[in-house]
A and B are shown apart, each in its own frame.
Chain A
Amino acid sequence: MASITGAITEFRQLDLLANGNTSVHRIDARAKVLVTLAFILAVVSFGKYELAALFPFFLYPAVIMALGNLPVRHIARKILVVLPFALMVGMFNPLFDQTVLIRLGPLAVSGGWLSLASIMVRATLTVGAALILVAVTGFPAICHALDQLGMPRIFTVQLLFLHRYLFVLTEEGGRTARARELRAFGKKGLGWRSYGSLLSQLLLRTWLRAERIHLAMLARGFTGEFHPRRTTRFGTRDFLFLAGWSGLFLFFRLVNVSQLLGTIVTGGRG
Chain B
Amino acid sequence: MSHHIVEVKDLRHVYPDGTEALRTVSFRITHGESVAIIGANGAGKSTLLLHLNGYLATSQGTIRIGDFPLTPATLPEIRRTVGMVFQDPDDQLFMPTVFDDVAFGPLNLGLTGEEVEERVQEALARVGAEHLRDKPPYRLSGGEKKRVAIATVLAMSPDILVMDEPTSGLDPFARRQLMGLLKNFRHTRIFTSHDLDMVVELCERTIVLHEGEVRADGPTLDIFRDEALLAACRLEKPFAMQGCPVCNR
Spell out A's residues near B (CB within 8 Å).
12, 15, 139-140, 143, 160-161, 163-165, 167-168, 209, 212-213, 215-223, 225, 227, 229
Contact = CB atoms under 8 A, between A and B. Distances in A.
B80 to A, nearest CB: 6
A218 B76 CA distance: 9
B156 A221 contact: yes
B108 A222 contact: yes
Contact of B96 (A164, A209, A227): A164
Interface string B86-100: 101011101111011
Contacts of A218: 55, 79
A221 B80 contact: yes
A223 B96 contact: no
Nearest to B80: A221
Contacts of B109: 221
Contact of A221 (B86, B88, B105): B105
Contacts of A216: 84, 86, 91-92, 94
Interface of A (DSSP majority class): helix
B96 A221 contact: no
Contacts of B156: 220-221
Given A217-B94, A221-B109, A168 B138 contact: yes
Given A164-B137, A220-B79, A221-B79, A227 B108 contact: yes
Nearest to B92: A216
B100 A161 contact: no
Nearest to B162: A219
Q: Which of B76, B83, B136 has the largest count of A CB atoms less than 10 A from its CB?
A: B136
A256 B90 CA distance: 52
B167 interface: no
A223 B108 contact: yes
B53 interface: yes
Nearest to A212: B91
Interface in B28-68: 50, 53, 55
A235 B88 CA distance: 42
28 contacts: A139-B96, A140-B100, A140-B136, A164-B94, A164-B96, A165-B94, A209-B91, A212-B91, A213-B91, A215-B50, A216-B84, A216-B86, A216-B94, A219-B53, A219-B55, A219-B82, A219-B153, A220-B79, A220-B108, A221-B76, A221-B80, A221-B105, A221-B109, A221-B156, A222-B108, A229-B100, A229-B103, A229-B116
